[in-house]
Structure 1
Amino acid sequence: MGQDDESSGNPPAPESVVAATARRSRSRQARLAALLLLLVVIVAATVRVVVATGPPTWDELRERAGLTNRDRLVIGVKDDQPGVAQKLENGAFEGFDIEIAYMIAEDLGFDAPEVTLLAIESEDRARRQARDASGSFVTVDLVVASYSITEQRQGQGVVFSFPYLETEQSVVTLASDSRKVASLRDLDRAKVCTLGTSTSERRLRDAGASPIGRNRISECIQALYDRQVDAVTTDAAILAGFVGPRPPGELPPAVKLRGRQELQHWDIGEEAAEKWGVNTGPNPAMRDLVNLSLQQSAEGPDGYRWKAAFDRYLASEQQYSNLQQVAVGRQPEPEEKVEVRQWPWERWALPSPSRPRSGAPTVAREPSRRNRRSSGC
């Protein structure tokens, strides 16, 4: 009768059960809190390691490239190359290179109204010097001007992006000329005009031709119309724009040619490919941003932008160039991979790391009827 409930084998009082349950609950909460704290420490340490040793973000690349507080991007382009880059009477530019320039600018964070295009001469492309509206030389941010990537130019300090177009050297003559041109050797002792800073001059000398250099390809074509030279040679993508007729209803070009005559486009069997790149200047971050844009165009969901520009301006000229291929109809594969740092939630929300400002897919910009055509090398 005098024994307590525990010694008598009776169940513990309800308050004892509650106390034991509370102790177990507090223990679980403590363990959970400790686990969460450990996870936070691990994540924080991982973030610090990734930030310290991993690739930069897109925003960091823009800051390193000096674009963060910029409201305008200046790009040097050609103005006398139909189909590639041509200036029209109303001051607008059009052509394949122009579309590529706007595509890259968009991926760098600049809308079309924030882009200034300046005509640049071939000899000034390496220095990135173009004349502005006042006639003064200014340094452009990028050069997108049918600029062939060569070891010599790279050795002289030109920093190129990944290639964005592959074409080859070709020749045009007057259609009335009975000369058949199957190789540069068929131009032995002929007067052949080409761009003075192009990759074509050495090949002409090796073939026995007499090269005549000009700073603008339109000057070479005019010399051919005037029969001052026998032929013109440069990249096929440039020459093709002078071979076919201008589509009806288009605005005339600002660079005028006199006495236009029908031309014959010749495939001279050159094995060496001419790959065009963007002169990005010496800033590595600017080069990486441009390469990232071209990488996304080649491999990402926005690849139709390159194809739309190619089909409109270059593929449409193929019918007038006979067997000479104007250019390869696919974007060259990037030579390496540009990496930018993105967290998983950014990858889910932002499918294109090169343009984090835009969550929605870009709608292809329909080139206006104001603009069309151009050339370079």
Structure 2
Amino acid sequence: MWRVVAVVSCLAAAFLTTSCGDDGGLVIAVQPGRPGLVTRLPDGSFAGFDIAVAQYVARDLGYRDDQLHYTLDPAGADLVLGAPIGRAPGPVAGPYLVTSTEVLVRAGDLSITRIRDLARKRVCGTAGSSRRLVARFGDTWKKLFLAQANVPAACAPLLTDGRTDAIVAEAPVLAGLEAQYPGRFRFSGRPLESDRYGIRTASPGLRDQVNEALRHMFDDGTWKRAVIDHLGVLATRYASPPALDGAAARDPA
């Protein structure tokens, strides 16, 4: 049986001294600090759309919930959630979400309505989400105007108190931040780029199995319910699941 780790409980001290998946479970790497997709709860567990996808896939592969181990280290994981298709190395199943990188500003700030308005504005984002802005405005802009964060959630306090003028991140994450600060933020400008997120796997064979699990999630309505539960404000954008890539994703003849 494929060893899959959906690392939720690896934060516990007991897991810090032993490797995850030693029980024959499934190890899944996730990226916290991305509201809507992955949020760490007070008890140390995780919640969000990515977690709902991870749990469904693991169960479809035959794993019990107590066999799932979540980790923050993608290097030792069997599944890596949130892998950008086309930029992630190795076999990638999916996509399970097609979205876009966008801009969030303070609700009362009408000076930012287009991407080019950010040329003289302070922006907060991760290295990945801000790369298009750096490519457009240059390294001097990066040094003067970009606050680079490890996770998008770290940008919200900066926007709230005026230390930055905009946050750049995936639309679901920005929607999650907007929900945490009701009435304080708004989306602004056109999307910077399209984002296609898949699940990086340990082997091509596992990728094919994960694609089948995603197909089942799409077909039985669970994917749509997860969108409503975790990305509700964007539910009209994600009215239907994305088309799976690859030969293994096609219906059999």
- Structure-1-length-normalised TM-score: 0.55
Q: Which runs of structure 1 show a deviation greater than 6 angstroms over 4 or more consecutive aligned residues?
A: none
Q: How does 1:190-339 map to 2 (within 5 A)?
A: 190-196=121-127, 198-207=128-137, 210-245=145-180, 262-270=183-191, 272-281=193-202, 283-298=203-218, 300=219, 303-315=220-232, 317-318=233-234, 327-338=237-248
> What's the C-alpha RMSD, in Å, of the aligned pairs?
2.7
Report if the CA contact (8 A) 2:103-2:191 is conserved: no
Instruction: Tell me, yes or no, if the aligned pair for 1:240 and 1:326 is still in contact at 8 Å.
Output: no
DSSP 3-state at the match of 2:70:
strand
Matched-pair identity in %:
28
For 1:172, the aligned partner's letter is L
Q: Does 1:184 align with 2:131?
A: no
Task: Report how far residue 179 of structure 1 moved.
Answer: 2.1
Residues 104-156 of structure 1, C-alpha deviations (whole Å, 9 max, x = no match): 111111121211123x2xxx6xxx14xxxxxxxxx122111x33323xx24xx
Alignment of 1:169-180 (within 5 A): 169-180=101-112
Asked if the contact 1:164–1:331 (Cα under 8 Å) also holds between the matched residues in 2, the reply is yes
In structure 1, C-alpha distance between the alignment counterparts of 2:188 and 2:106, rounded to whole Å = 15
Task: Return the offset for 1:232.
Answer: 0.5
1:234: how far off?
1.1
Rounded to whole Å, the distance in 1 between the matches of 2:109 and 2:210 is 43
Question: Aligned ranges for residues 121-160 of structure 1 at < 5 Å?
Answer: 128-129=74-75, 139-144=76-81, 146-150=82-86, 153-154=87-88, 157-160=89-92
Q: What's the offset of the Cα at 1:271?
A: 7.2
For residues 221 and 326 of structure 1, the distance between their equivalents in structure 2, rounded to whole angstroms, comes to 24
CA distance in 1, matches of 2:34, 2:204: 30
1:101 positional shift: 0.5
Contiguous gaps of at least 5 residues in structure 1 = 1-61, 130-138, 246-259, 319-324, 343-377
Task: Name the larger-Rg structure.
Answer: 1
Structure 2 distance, partners of 1:326, 1:277, is: 21
Q: How many residues align?
A: 228
Structure 1 letter corresponding to 2:223: W
1:112 aligns with 2:43: no
**1:103 CA displacement:** 0.6
TM-score (normalizing by structure 2): 0.79
Structure 1 residues 265 and 279, CA gap change in structure 2 (3 angstroms) = farther
Q: CA deviation at 1:286?
A: 1.5
Alpha-carbon distance in 1 for matches of 2:192, 2:125: 19
Contact 2:227 2:238 in 1 (8 A): no
Question: Which residue of 1 is the match for residue 42 of structure 2?
Answer: 89
- 8 Å CA contact 1:168–1:327 kept in 2: the answer is no
Structure 2: stretches of 5+ with no match in the other structure: 5-21
Q: Which is richer in strand?
A: 2
